[in-house]
Structure 1
């Protein structure tokens, strides 16, 4: 099957699943959907999607609104659904559909699906998952889609650092550089006058060589406490490099996650209110790793840690691009220990201050 046929078949199947969900939910009616300002399609267009009579992928805004409306209607009517209404699962399927459609297009335009599927995420969305068999335990994992500089609800930030524990220059674009600059004391023009976080980390490694992979070190947050409510920074050695060759991720990213979470446990002995932690995709970015390869190990290690304890803990994973988001959601949806937590009220919605 060629790319064009595969994309068309994928679109028909996706529309069929939307129609099945809508039929099983028993509503809302197409007329009421067309009057809903959250559903950006007219009556005839909604019918066309549900009948599979479209040649273009419908917008994510439409898909998300339709799935949400079906979930709410089914809940009100007490109707059982055979299909999941998890926004994360539908988003993952939607991203794959866009990718198939993009391959069909020989020369995608700037606003084509392939560009959108790998684009930087604007705004902020939070997708939360709880432990399936331990609903009474206040422990969860969530994906934060957006820019780390907009996150103000995670007590601890993890910095994916190299085995030399040398932070990136503030002029670079990486989590390390953002943390270094955000934690520094700056003058009115934005110039760094006191390199708070980097200096503290430098004192730790002073006089020693490279640390072992997965070494985790705590520093204070510097000015990030005031700007983003960060209480602690955990630097974990997740990449190593050679002169002239660049950086590569360490062999076992899961060990890095476990090391950071163990250190968080030690921090909680003196700061019990530090109950949430934000991980970037360790080893990605300047580390050269891909979300597809790194995310499963990261989320698996985080899930294992969550199931082993009982105290309050939220593990956030940062997704900066649509590609990273799709990888995170796919990994979490496939983890049988977890289930999307619609009770949290922030799954799939914009939120500048996510609840605990």
Structure 2
């Protein structure tokens, strides 16, 4: 074998190896098998050059496409035909790999808003600042849907607070980290040490349950705001049965969230006709407190249900509904869902 033959064979072999490694990278998904073809051709050319350089009297003969070929060309042609045959059988694998890669990219895009709302990953961060973001409804600028961030206890000047309650309408203990506990504590009478001395809202809600032990999923009951009227300018508390309890299993989100939203807003409008106009509503992310729900799906459904209500009740006296975002993750999901809702007029 001459140095020229050895050099050419080495170039073919190294090129084939390099191409094979390059084509095997994950980002080549969808074309990996197709890219193997030129690599195999380089290998076959290197092998043919080696064989016919070391054994110059070797012979190979065959016919392809009506032509007779022999020698090194016949040897290389054999590998080329075999490669094309192999490629035709693996095309489907490339198509499937491409579809998988596309789905992975779409999934990453859907989760990007969540990552963008978090500082370097890690657990969700509780938001201390109360900020508001709202978008008008297309074709009805008097109706808006938005979000308010932070702890419910720090939100001032909203007419209605919605309390996501269980189907037994049993409010949380005041020391629990729930919306129900926040409403119960701040709506009651407290002494100078901050201890609850009169459970104003809890007692009023319990009084409405004297005729039964539980209500249907999505049912709403309305109570006064207690001390929240003076401290937070709240006019009504709307309690909605958004979770169902099961002994030994805890609470789970009710299936028909849309019914919860529809019943809440309908009741707010009904109360407005008989009393002071209730223009603004704070709506927590119903049923997500225990973690037994899909947070992103919940946000999307709440936004959609609110928009649908405004579309079907164009004379509604409600002007704005705010989703309550307690953490940075919730805020990112709410903002993304609002921006993606076609019925809302973004910038």
Contact 2:117–2:328, Cα closer than 8 Å, also in 1? no
- Unaligned residue ranges in structure 1 (runs of 5+): 7-92, 103-111, 342-356
What SS does structure 1 have at the residue aligned with 2:301? helix
After superposition, what is the alpha-carbon deviation per residue over 1:224-261, rounded to whole angstroms, capped at 9, x for unaligned?
11111000000000000112210000001111000000
Find the counterpart in structure 1 of residue 193 from structure 2: 189
Task: State which of 119, 132, 147 in structure 2 corresponds to 1:126.
Answer: 132
What is the number of equivalent residue pairs in this alignment? 240
Contact 1:213/1:238 (8 A) holds in 2: yes
Contact 1:278-1:318 within 8 A present in 2 as well: yes
Residue of structure 1 in register with 2:340 after alignment: 334
1:109-148 to 2 correspondences below 5 Å: 113-115=120-122, 118-135=124-141, 138-148=142-152
The two structures have a TM-score, normalised by structure 1, of: 0.63
**1:248 pairs with 2:252:** yes
Distance of 1:263 and 1:130 partners within structure 2: 22
TM-score by length of 2: 0.65
CA change 1:244–1:139 in 2 (3 A) is same
Is 1:323 the counterpart of 2:323? The answer is no
- Shift, 1:289, TM fit: 2.2
SS of the counterpart of 1:149? helix
Shift of the 226–98 alpha-carbon distance from structure 1 to 2, 3 Å rule, reads: closer
* Distance in 2 of aligned mates of 1:233 and 1:98: 30
Structure 1 residues 288 and 131, CA gap change in structure 2 (3 angstroms): same
Aligned twin of 2:160: 156
Q: Where in structure 2 are there 5+ consecutive unaligned residues?
A: 1-25, 28-108
Q: Which has the larger radius of gyration?
A: 2
Q: CA separation of 1:224/1:287 partners in 2, compared to 1, >3 Å: closer, same or farther?
A: farther
The root-mean-square deviation of aligned C-alpha atoms, in Å, is 2.5
Deviations 1:138-173 (A, max 9, x none): 110111011111111210000000000000000101
Partner residue, 1:274: 278
Partner of 1:99: 115
Looking at structure 2, the residues matched to 100 and 204 of structure 1 have their Cα atoms a distance apart, in angstroms, of: 44
**Which residue is equivalent to 1:218?**
222
Summarize the Cα distance change of 1:98–1:209 in structure 2 as closer, same or farther, 3 Å threshold. closer
Aligned to 2:289: 285
Answering whether residue 235 of structure 2 is matched by residue 231 of structure 1, we say yes
1:98 to partner: Cα distance = 7.3
- The answer to whether the 8 A contact 1:98-1:113 is kept is no
Q: Per the alignment, in what secondary structure is the counterpart of residue 338 of structure 2?
A: helix
Does residue 306 of structure 2 align to residue 302 of structure 1? yes
Q: Secondary structure at the match of 1:120?
A: coil
Partners in 1 of 2:114 and 2:161 — Cα distance? Answer: 32
Structure 2 CA distance for aligned equivalents of residues 97 and 131 of structure 1: 23
Q: d(CA) in 1 for partners of 2:116 and 2:192? A: 49
Matching residue of 2:261 = 257
Q: Is the 8 A contact 1:239 1:287 kept in 2?
A: no
Instruction: Indicate conservation of the 8 Å contact 2:229/2:235, yes or no.
Output: yes
Q: Deviation of residue 327 (structure 1)?
A: 1.4
Q: Deviations over 1:80-123 (max 9, x none)?
A: xxxxxxxxxxxxx8982773899xxxxxxxxx51037x211121
* Secondary structure of 1:259's aligned partner: helix
Change (3 A) 1:132 1:172: same
Return the alpha-carbon distance in structure 2 between the equivalents of residues 325 and 97 of structure 1. 10
- The alignment status of 1:169 with 2:198, answered yes or no, reads no
Q: For the residues of structure 2 that align with 1:334 and 1:101, how far apart are their CA atoms?
A: 16
1:129–1:142: 8 Å Cα contact kept in structure 2? Answer: yes
Change (3 A) 1:217 1:287: farther
